[in-house]
Structure 1
Amino acid sequence: MATNKHIESGILELYIAGALSEKENEQVYRLIIEHPEILEEVKEIEKSISTLISNVAPKNTKSFFKDILIKILQEKEDSKKVIAIKTSKKKWITYTGWAASFIIGSTLIISLNKNANLQGQIDTINEAKEQYEIKLEETNYNLAENKKLLAVIRNKDIITVPLQGQNVYPEAYAKVYWNKNTKNIYLDVQGLPNPPKGKVYQVWSLKLNPLTPTSLGTLDNFAINENKVFTINNPNDSQAFGITLEPAGGSETPTLEQLYTLGAV
């Protein structure tokens, strides 16, 4: 597989060590995003390097460099100690090896930090992708609901009843789509303002002679309903529909002083 070829090529180790060109870094970065197995291999390489650095580095860095300094001063003050100087050369080889390991380790740590930032970027991208998928799902759901509503209001059996604004709020308007076969109405209240706190809109089915109101319920989720269309069961032989503003929980009879819209069938 192509992924195995990249893993075995050694390019991932060079990527972590910061030894690739900018173009090569971009290519490896795309491979990491596209292939989870390559990302896992990068993590394993970083883990191995971290273990190597911790094993090679001297345990007490302060004491290590302090001992080197003391040894240098002692050798300068006593130039006759040739044997000690020869011995010190051996130690200098060890010190030099440790110092080289320390320098290489520092470079690798910087590289690891860069790759940690890369992982953070990947996590951010994945999180943004998840949010996008959630938003897309919501959009698809709303689209399906809108298509369903459009099919309902285009039904040949639908009776359309416009509701006009009344004295309390002349600018108000609403519309009832009534299907007598299903005994449902689809109430579009886009033309109503948000109700004040502690108040709720209540829908009424009316008989006109004598005037007899029957409550069809309250629009409790008015503020969070984005398309402002409510499906309401209506088994009544309605001659008109009205909407009033009532205290939260609704009223037994409509408050006519707060009649917002009214329309006859």
Structure 2
Amino acid sequence: MDKKRILEEGLLELYLTGELSEDLTAIVEKALGEDKELKAHFDVLEADFERMGIEQAITPPNLVKTQLKNALEQPGIRKINWLPLSIAATVALLFGLSSFWLYGKWQDAESSLSTLQSQTSQLRRQVDKLESEFRLTSNHFKSINNPDVIPLVLYGNQKASNGKAVAYVNHKSQQVLVNPKGLPALPKDKTYQMWSDVDGEMINMGTLPTDSELVTLKYIEDAESLNITIEPAGGNDHPTVEELVSYVIL
């Protein structure tokens, strides 16, 4: 089985997730042992899957523990505050001045309840954010694990030494995802931008912020190559050719 068929049928992704039969597993392992370029693609794909899982795992802050503890203990707090309230109400019949103490306790209870409600709302927002990030990560994983996806590694030149980006191209669904994490960080007034070369014309696909795990870019039909340049922040309407840092032929 040749490398092209292995890539087009998504056998590397299925091998990585343990979904291949024994026969196909043996074929893929043999190909990986014989083809250095195929092995490099697999290593990059494997590293991306591991890094995405690690980086997307979010440890809840200590504040969450405190909020949950307060939420569990609050019924007890309110129950405890009713006893002084009852006693104070009885004593107030005999000693009018004690009403000031009762009023202070009531104010404290109101303040505590307001704080708890605010913390509960904050906790709910954090949970919603975690759920949203999980869904996004799950959707990205499904996209790059699709059998129709072709992974392409763009290695940096002297302008981006030791840098690399990985593009996941799905011609069938006309979707392009790029992991730019391997590219060197740029100054705030600069950004990476990707272009498709179609018959000698460079067409803008979008910018590549290096603080994003996966970036969705515009799919360009009949592209002959993918190219990354360094442009002013916000992107450019035409590529700065002398700032080309990487490209790959499709």
Tell me the TM-score normalised to structure 2 length.
Answer: 0.58
Deviation at 1:142, TM superposition (A): 0.8
> Of the candidates 196, 204, 207, which is equivalent to residue 215 of structure 1?
204
Q: Which residue of 1 aligns with 2:232?
A: 247
Q: Which residue of 2 aligns with 1:231?
A: 216
- SS of equivalent residue, structure 1 residue 250: coil
Q: Percent identity?
A: 23
User: AA paired with 2:232?
Assistant: P
Deviation at 1:136, TM superposition (A): 0.7
Distance in 2 separating the partners of 1:151 and 1:29:
42
Deviation at 1:31, TM superposition (A): 5.1
Change beyond 3 A, Cα 1:33–1:199: farther
Deviation at 1:264, TM superposition (A): 2.8
Deviations 1:128-147 (A, max 9, x none): 11111101101101101111
Distance in 1 separating the partners of 2:195 and 2:149:
19
- SS of equivalent residue, structure 1 residue 187: strand
Q: Which residue of 2 aligns with 1:116?
A: 107
> Of the candidates 228, 241, 245, which is equivalent to residue 260 of structure 1?
245
* Superposed counterparts of 1:183-222, under 5 Å: 183-206=174-197, 211-219=200-208, 222=209
Distance in 2 separating the partners of 1:239 and 1:111:
79
8 Å CA contact 1:184–1:235 kept in 2: the answer is: no
Deviation at 1:247, TM superposition (A): 2.0
- SS of equivalent residue, structure 2 residue 180: strand
Deviations 1:132-177 (A, max 9, x none): 1101101101101111111111111001111111211213211110
Moved beyond 6 Å, runs of 4+: none
Distance in 1 separating the partners of 2:128 and 2:238:
41
Distance in 1 separating the partners of 2:163 and 2:104:
61
* Superposed counterparts of 1:1-265, under 5 Å: 30=75, 101-102=95-96, 105-106=97-98, 108-206=99-197, 211-219=200-208, 222=209, 227-265=212-250
For this pair of structures, how many residues does the alignment match? Answer: 174
Change beyond 3 A, Cα 1:31–1:231: same
Deviations 1:26-73 (A, max 9, x none): xx9625659xxxx9xx6xx79x96xx97xx9xxxxxxxxxxxxxxxxx
8 Å CA contact 1:163–1:262 kept in 2: the answer is: yes
Tell me the TM-score normalised to structure 1 length.
Answer: 0.55
- SS of equivalent residue, structure 2 residue 162: coil
Structure 2: segments with no counterpart, 5+ residues: 1-72
Change beyond 3 A, Cα 1:206–1:126: same
Distance in 1 separating the partners of 2:145 and 2:116:
43
Deviations 1:80-130 (A, max 9, x none): xxxxxxxxxxxxxxxxxxxx634xx23x42243233223222222221111
User: AA paired with 1:157?
Assistant: D
